[in-house]
Amino acid sequence: MTDIATIEQLAKKKGFFYPSDEIYGVLSGFYTYGHLGALMKRKLENMWRRFFLDEENFFEIDPSVIMSEKVFEASGHLKSFVDPIVKCTKCGTYHRADQIVESFLNRTFEGATPEELTKLIKEHSIKCPKCKGALQEVGILNMMFPIDIGAEKDLKGYLRPETAQGVYVNFLTQFNILRKKLPMGLAIVSRAFRNEISPRQLITRMREFNQAELQIFFDADKVNEHERWNEVKSYKLIALPLNERDKKSSIEVSCDELSKRIPKFYVYYMAKVQKFFLEDLKIPKEKFRFRELSDEEKAFYNKIHWDMELNLESLDGFKEIGGVHYRTDHDLSGHQKVSKQSQEIFFDNKKLVPHVLELSFGVDRMFYAMLDLFYSKEKDKVVLKLPACLAPITASVFPLVNKDGLDKMAKEVFDKIKSSFDVFYDESGSIGRMYARADEAGVPFCITIDYDTMKDGTATLRERDTTKQVRVKIEDLTSSISKISEGKKIEEVGKSIK
Ligand code: GAP
């Protein structure tokens, strides 16, 4: 059983992530990625970029994270980006009211109004989870962090609560610089900030976090088509439509079938998202699903909203990792109104304000999910079976013993292959300890230099998941590792040894 404490312990021990500024006591909701974490996060983000930005007119931009108050007046965040909060009359703690009611009644209350939540708290005599004190009436809190700008601090800005707004305010500039063509995709992979009332579950609910979001601008008249539709039409999506909620945890439905009630442009990108998780990140199929949200649950800017979820043992079930959002022209039209600058373009012989389909993901939640899903305990050993393309360190190199020139030779091998992969040199402790350390850090390959290396120039290459070992010539190590990572069996790249 993988519980949250196990993941927390492993993350801290190996330096994947841990609370920030710990020497001053923990400020909750802020985390640091340590050396392994930073490497793996970068690989995850790059895989996301390679996969989602592979279309002809799709690009990445990197705007500022502090944005003017006007931006959020236009987007609706000033008014609508709020959470219901409730204060305990005894201990003074603030809680997310919907979460308290949710855990008491064991159902979701996303989208419930403060009045409805107050009524439920009274009806069911729900008390403060911390001290059992009585709770006040439910109020609301805007989740954005305000920033005072300038010497007199008279200019008001906010840390962006979603990267998306950084794209919308740049839409027209980029459209004119780029190909003046739709669909156009603009992505941001960077920080977002929310003053979460109860940051919790480690890096899955933080106050400063990372998003990978892609805004796809398209002509609303073409929402029922996609030029690559034929590639996905018979592809089966794993999904939980609203009408199946009380019966199943998910069903399989072909893109063609779903497109009878959800626009093809939207369904095409659902397929793309699923392929990323199942094929690139190697997530087991039964752990994945899309969940359709009801009108009350949808984000205020969405016309169609399906969350993308993964079933995580340490978090007791399916957890939202991202979403496919049909935001229509909500944002561009909002910016047009408040800035008084037309966001219209001329395309396909007509004037239009494009619609937006957003693919939105939390990088930290994807990261956490990978630790949860690929954690395994074998006898008393922890093995993190991360896919090779995501593992922070691809290969560990060590000498069988730290003497007789084996250490010098191991360092030479390390130097030789370090420009091809992220490699780690280790020489402390027994060979068993070094393998165990590598397994726990998710290193897919270990290379051991021994006395035979001195004689015939071969090394032992060991595969983490099968623990199979082969002898490989030193000059063939990088190509052998690449071949196995691409799917070849280890016994096909070298001479098997027991
Ligand atoms: N632009 C749309 C948007 O921001 P969202 O559902 O509010 O939509 C997108 O956020 C994703 O960002 C979520 O699915 C989640 O993975 C991640 N996310 C949101 N709040 C987070 C938080 N406080 N800490 C970590 N990740 C968060």
Best CA proximity match to 393, nearest among 12, 68, 141, 35: 35
Terminal alpha carbon distance of the chain: 31
312, 319 Cβ separation under 8 angstroms: yes
CA of 322 to the centre of ligand 1 (A): 7
Q: Which residues pair with 263 in a beta bridge?
A: none
Q: Which residues contact residue 488 at a Cβ distance below 8 angstroms, ignoring those fewer than 6 apart?
A: none
Among the atoms of ligand 1, which is closest to the Cα of residue 199? 23
Neighbour count for residue 156 (Cβ, 10 Å): 14
DSSP letters, 51-118, are HHT-STTEEE----SEEEHHHHHHHSHHHH-EEEEEEBTTT--EEEHHHHHHHHHTS--TT--HHHHH
Residue 357's pLDDT is: 98
343, 294 Cβ separation under 8 angstroms: no
Burial (CB count within 10 angstroms: exposed 0-12, middle 13-18, buried 19+), residue 226? buried
d(CA 268, CA 255): 7
CA of 358 to the centre of ligand 1 (A): 12
Residue 131's pLDDT is: 94
Among the atoms of ligand 1, which is closest to the Cα of residue 360? 9
Ligand 1 first shell, C-beta below 6 A: 162, 164, 194, 196, 204-206, 209, 211, 213, 320-323, 358, 360-362, 364-365
Burial (CB count within 10 angstroms: exposed 0-12, middle 13-18, buried 19+), residue 148? exposed
CA of 211 to the centre of ligand 1 (A): 7
Q: Which residues contact residue 270 at a Cβ distance below 8 angstroms, ignoring those fewer than 6 apart?
A: 237, 239, 255, 258, 290, 306, 324
d(CA 387, CA 403): 33
- What are 209's two structure tokens? 């976090």
Among the atoms of ligand 1, which is closest to the Cα of residue 207? 23
Helix (H) / strand (E) containing 289:
strand 288-292
- What's the pTM? 0.96
Among the atoms of ligand 1, which is closest to the Cα of residue 362? 16
Q: What is the mean pLDDT of each run of 10 residues along the chain (498 residues)?
A: 94 97 91 98 98 97 98 96 94 93 87 92 95 95 96 95 98 95 98 94 98 98 98 98 95 98 98 98 98 95 98 97 98 98 97 98 98 94 96 97 94 96 94 95 98 95 96 97 94 88
d(CA 6, CA 382): 10
d(CA 66, CA 157): 6
Q: Which residues pair with 78 in a beta bridge?
A: none
* Residues counted in the chain: 498
